[in-house]
Amino acid sequence: MIRILSLAVALFIAAAAQPARAGDNGFLMYGGPLHVSDAGGAASPPEALVARDGVIVFTGSLAAARAKAGGLPEIDLKGAAAYPGFVDSHVHLTGVGLRETSLNLDQVRSVADLVKAVAAWAAAHPGDEPLTGAGWIETHWPEGRFPTSADLDAVAPDRPVALWRADGHAVVLNSAALRLAGIGRDTPDPAGGRIDRDADGRATGMLIDNAMDLIGPKLPPLSYARRKEALARGTALYAARGWTRGVNMSTQAEDLKALEALAAEGRLPIRVDVFMTPEDGGEVLRRGPYADPTGLVRVRGVKLYMDGALGSRGAALLKPYSDRPDTSGLLVADHDATLAILKQALAVRAQVAIHAIGDRGNRLAMDWMSEAFRTDGPGAAQTTWRIEHAQIINPADIPRLAKLGVVASMQPSHAIGDLYFAPSRLGPDRLAGAYAWRSLVDSGASVVFGSDAPVEVGDPRIEFYAAVARKDLSGKSGPDWSPEQALTRAEALDALSVRGVAAVADAALPGPPKPPPADITVFSADIMTLPEADILTVRPVMTIVGGKIVHDGR
């Protein structure tokens, strides 16, 4: 059985009134709420903590901490609240950075808005090169439909236009891009993909899941320089929001090269745990998990895909979609090829993350993992694998995750957006296993939280709020949103911090707990006690990684 290495580490935290000076090798922190559980299981939070050489070496009373600190600089919280470093357990950091420098469509509210945004961008960036963007999602649009090539042709008829849906599982092309992709009336759907067509059989411009591969290779590749700058921007933004670690999914070789270069240059402010694409995962599948010389970048394993997304009806369901009885979604994985990768990963104790959203996708992910585990019991016992998203699980399958020791890596913000349209996609009967955080935690499964940015904003406050409120950002919820699936604040904090670290730990190296790193997230007020509606109003005050202040927002 796969298991997570038990980490008897504290939720060691603090915030700073004055940053530690360059060259200091530690500090004492006190003066505000410290949400700490020390290795001995202390029942109450400490008054202070001491960090030295990048790790927490003491928690307890202020007097005892001062005696232990031996003259280290003191950092007074002055009432700010501090937490164990927040971990985004599922992020695409290159995309986060690119969102800041390219056509960002996450604020468009209609097809008409989308068309206006494309027209404005095309006017500001003239030329013949393809126009690309991302971030749109149609579920709240008044038109009640996907955009089409005809919509885009009205403002950009000549240059190719490709605009990715927020979930990354669909793209809309204009007619020029359809021609560039070689898509016509007779183009067949690729395995694991779908070309949407109108009643006359003509492509509408929408490509779902593997059909996106028809346009991807025809577009100019992302340069290494731009990729590196995107990662620099993305990780700096993450530090400013209070994240101390990001688990970067579907990482390409050039992304890894850029991350390692940033770390070597002293420009990587947060820790990054990497899951490679299968195409670029050869080294980790050959040698097992490894790290760069700084220790900030760690390659943990590979990321695989089982199905698509619910919004674009690509998630694989056991029964047809309630609002499209002609489809049950898409499987994008091949059993034999996937099992070969799983066995290879087990042999070197590499981690595996499988994207699965629909109830069929999740069942098959568990089935195939279980099949692999039976071939290598020792490998299974020393490796932590995970299912990414785990959004729709048949209630009968929920207990299986805990039995297999597989982590459910979920994104609370997906629920508060998806639950506007999930009832129509799934019908009432399947909602019992939708975004079922409480059911999974109660079953004994390890649940970790992230954001899936840039699909979502990538803000730890939003993820925490969504997990404990199960309401949208205005405080509203629908009749089918299952408020009983919300978590307590302590559980949500755990899933966004310590469990996130545990899920990427070196489970193959058991032993006594080491001093935990001084990774600390500081907010202006205490999200553990604030009224629910006020959680989103706190400010990120300071972010500390390995004892170093990487963001000071005072």
8 A C-beta contact, residue 409 and residue 503:
yes
Phi, psi of 292, deg, nearest 5? -80, 170
The answer as to whether 201 is a domain residue is yes
DSSP 361-395: HHHHHHHHHHHHHTT-HHHHHT---EEEE--B--G
| H or E stretch at 196 | strand 193-197
List Cα–Cα distances, 505 to 84, 508, 511, in angstroms.
Answer: 16, 9, 12
Answer whether residue 512 is part of any domain: no
3-state secondary structure of 208: strand
User: Are 324 and 471 in a shared domain?
Assistant: yes
Q: Are 357 and 451 in the same domain?
A: yes
Residue 8 has a pLDDT of: 29
In a domain, 208, yes or no: yes
351 and 472 in a single domain? The answer is yes
Clarify whether residues 278 and 389 are in a common domain.
no
pLDDT of residue 102: 83
* Structural domains counted in the chain: 4
Residue 258 in tokens: 């850029």
Residue 13 lies in a domain: no
Q: Is residue 469 part of a domain?
A: yes
Q: Which domain holds residue 213?
A: 130-218
pTM score, whole prediction: 0.87
346 and 475, same domain (yes or no): yes
Q: Are residues 315 and 448 in the same domain?
A: yes
For residue range 232-249, what is the model confidence (pLDDT) as tens digits? 999 999 999 999 999 999
Q: Are residues 251 and 348 in the same domain?
A: no
401 within domain boundaries: yes
Same domain, yes or no: 296 and 402: no
What pLDDT, on a 0 to 100 scale, did the predictor assign at position 106?
A: 86
What are the pLDDT digits (tens) for 320-369?
999 999 999 999 999 999 999 999 999 999 999 999 999 999 999 999 99
Task: Determine, yes or no, domain membership for 383.
Answer: yes
Residues 301, 329, single domain; the answer is no
Q: Which residues pair with 26 in a beta bridge?
A: 52
pLDDT at position 21: 38
Q: What is the pLDDT of residue 4?
A: 30
* pLDDT at residue number 1: 33
Last residue of a domain, one of 197, 218, 239: 218
**CA 548 – CA 430 distance, rounded (Å):** 46
Question: Are residues 467 and 544 part of one domain?
Answer: no
Contacts of residue 309, Cβ cutoff 8 Å, sequence gap at least 6 = 165, 167, 168, 169, 170, 315, 357
Residues of the chain with pLDDT under 50: 1-23, 38-41
Which is nearest to 544 in space by CA: 84, 159, 28? 84
419 found inside a domain:
yes
Whether residue 282 is found in the same domain as residue 169? no
Domain C-terminal end among 218, 243, 271: 218
End position of a domain, from candidates 187, 218, 249: 218
